[in-house]
């Protein structure tokens, strides 16, 4: 994937979509629609341009990048511009965005919103269980922000599957 380190994978299968949440979205919108699929669904802000999206993962991941797609719309909505990423803060609210330091702040360009991947700093995202995406502003300064697709890329470290371990007898301890 151009713009991201080699060997990264789409982490869609590591997302816990039923636990994902978004604040300040229009009625009827579902955050899981933009976390999977073809990007034709849309998540749109309601009261103002800000969005707060929390995406939990089913296991620890090493996040290396993301892609935020915002297709041009005919209405008064606009794609995100300033995005702040928070790591392992699953219960954030809008009141928290100024008191908790983001792991990374990203200024999105129209190229990003057309599908160009966004690389993240490896260290803050090395042991990630959730990512909270705060959209602080949008491209056109409108009251509505639109996201059609939000994808995460990185690695899901493989660990030992404890269910497959077998009991072993200790011959040096006198077990029989």
CATH of the domain at 124: 2.60.120.470
For the stretch 105-142, pLDDT in tens is 999 999 999 999 999 999 999 999 999 999 999 999 99
The number of folded domains in the chain is 1
Answer whether residue 164 is part of any domain. Answer: no
- Rounded to 10 degrees, the C-alpha dihedral 24/30/36/42 comes to -70
pLDDT of residue 101: 97
pTM assigned to the model? 0.85
Q: How far apart are CA 79 and CA 70, in angstroms?
A: 5
Of the listed ranges 41-45, 56-60, 150-154, 171-175, the one predicted with least confidence:
171-175
Host domain of residue 114: 9-157
Q: How far apart are CA 82 and CA 109, in angstroms?
A: 9
Q: How far apart are CA 136 and CA 68, in angstroms?
A: 14
State both tokens at 94: 């809008």
pLDDT of residue 133: 98
How many residues belong to the chain?
176
Of the listed ranges 51-60, 61-70, 155-164, the one predicted with least confidence:
155-164
Answer whether residue 165 is part of any domain. Answer: no
Query: Is 52 within 8 Å of 95 (Cβ atoms)?
Result: no
Q: How far apart are CA 109 and CA 118, in angstroms?
A: 10
Query: Using 50, 70 and 90 to split pLDDT, how confident is the model at 164?
Result: very low
Q: Which residues are CB-contacts of 74 (< 8 A; sequence separation ≥ 6)?
A: none
Answer whether residue 87 is part of any domain. Answer: yes
- Does residue 171 surpass a pLDDT of 70? no
Answer whether residue 128 is part of any domain. Answer: yes
Tell me the average pLDDT across 71-80.
Answer: 78
Answer whether residue 163 is part of any domain. Answer: no
φ and ψ of 112, to 5 deg = -60, -45
Is the Cα torsion angle 73, 144, 150, 110 positive or negative in sign? positive
State both tokens at 110: 């129209």
Answer whether residue 68 is part of any domain. Answer: yes
pLDDT of residue 37: 64
Share of the chain above pLDDT 70, in %: 85
Answer whether residue 18 is part of any domain. Answer: yes
Q: How far apart are CA 175 and CA 60, in angstroms?
A: 37
Answer whether residue 169 is part of any domain. Answer: no
Q: How far apart are CA 68 and CA 75, in angstroms?
A: 19
Q: How many helices (H) and strands (E) does the chain have?
A: 2, 11
For the stretch 10-49, pLDDT in tens is 999 999 988 999 999 999 888 998 998 666 788 999 999 9
């Amino acid at each position: 994937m151009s713009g991201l380190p080699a060997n990264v994978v789409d982490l869609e299968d590591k997302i816990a979509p039923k636990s994902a949440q978004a604040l300040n979205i229009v009625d009827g919108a579902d955050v899981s629609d933009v976390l999977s699929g073809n990007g034709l669904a849309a998540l749109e802000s309601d009261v103002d341009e800000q969005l707060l999206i929390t995406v939990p993962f089913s296991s620890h991941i090493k996040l290396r990048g993301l892609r935020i797609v915002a297709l041009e719309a005919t209405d008064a909505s606009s794609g995100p511009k300033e995005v702040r990423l928070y790591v392992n803060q699953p219960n954030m609210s809008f009141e928290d965005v100024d008191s908790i330091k983001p792991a990374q702040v990203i200024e999105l360009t129209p190229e990003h919103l057309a599908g160009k991947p966004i690389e993240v700093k490896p260290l803050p995202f090395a042991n990630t269980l959730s990512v909270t995406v705060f959209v602080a502003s949008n491209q056109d300064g409108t009251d509505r922000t639109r996201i059609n697709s939000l994808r995460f890329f990185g690695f899901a470290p493989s660990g030992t599957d404890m269910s497959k371990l077998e009991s072993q007898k200790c011959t040096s301890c006198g077990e029989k």
